[in-house]
Chains A and B, each alone.
Chain A
């Protein structure tokens, strides 16, 4: 089994696409404020990657499809079980040596224990990617409230004061292509502000 995340940019109303998808998966509209997020977030565990047709969609309904199959590197709980689900896709573009990737993974995976507002989370290594970039990582979390992601996560010192350097083309440790995916949605679980 493998984990799958897909971000679809649609040519049809998002409600129409959601109504067509009749498979066990998290299928939710992306909230505004993401980057390269598209319209619809799909998250599921699969034994083989589905084609658009398997999802009940067709190419004429979908303008762009970014996504990845991935395997868990680290995690705790269920990132889809909180009111807000966030996923990010990263491409390690500069000097992705095994040592640097290991340090990047360790610092990212340490973020949940340096904060107290991430619920379930998973860091995954991509085994197959499609869409705009050769994605290498999936980084997903669950949050109780939208502000936990858009406010507290952004203010967390381990974020801006440590991990962000891997994403900073000005920093000598820079690793990750700034053209990343940052997408989030309401899961429909619980009430979220």
Chain B
């Protein structure tokens, strides 16, 4: 299993709007590209109107083939790239990490 973790820090007071944008506009398309949303978490656990919320979305993909399929579909669609530009108007910063369980390392490398 491969995990992708998006962490987005909202601009002050934009946490709820950023969360809505992600859930409503990104999640459905990502699911069609084979990504399964495992967790959607927010810190602190209430919407700040005078500060930044940290939004964390954890996704999983079954194997390396699914990872490349997701990339291929996303990179063919200019709307996906344009959508991230919208995110950057509500987010002060973001990161995406690719992770796996160490117990899966050999299986993922061997295919």
Contacts and interface: CB of A to CB of B under 8 A. Distances in A.
Interface string A98-117: 00000000000000000000
B68 A160 contact: yes
B68 A162 contact: no
A155 B111 contact: yes
Given A157-B105, A161-B100, A172 B80 contact: no
Given A155-B110, A155-B111, A160-B64, A170 B95 contact: no
Given A170-B81, A178-B75, A160 B67 contact: yes
Contacts of B95: 172
A161 B98 contact: yes
12 contacts: A151-B111, A152-B111, A155-B64, A155-B109, A157-B100, A160-B2, A161-B98, A162-B98, A164-B98, A170-B74, A170-B96, A178-B75
- The 8 A-B pairs at the shortest CB distance, nearest first, are namely A169-B81, A155-B111, A161-B98, A178-B75, A155-B64, A171-B96, A160-B67, A172-B94
B71 interface: yes
Interface residues on A, range: 10 to 19
Interface in B67-111: 67-68, 71, 74-75, 80-81, 84, 93-96, 98, 100, 105, 108-111
B interface secondary structure, majority: helix
Contacts of A191: none
Contacts of A154: 64, 68
Interface of B: 2, 64, 67-68, 71, 74-75, 80-81, 84, 93-96, 98, 100, 105, 108-111
Interface of A: 151-152, 154-157, 160-162, 164-165, 168-172, 178
A155 B108 CA distance: 7
Contact of A160 (B98, B105, B110): B98
Contacts of B94: 172
B76 to A, nearest CB: 9
A157 B80 contact: no
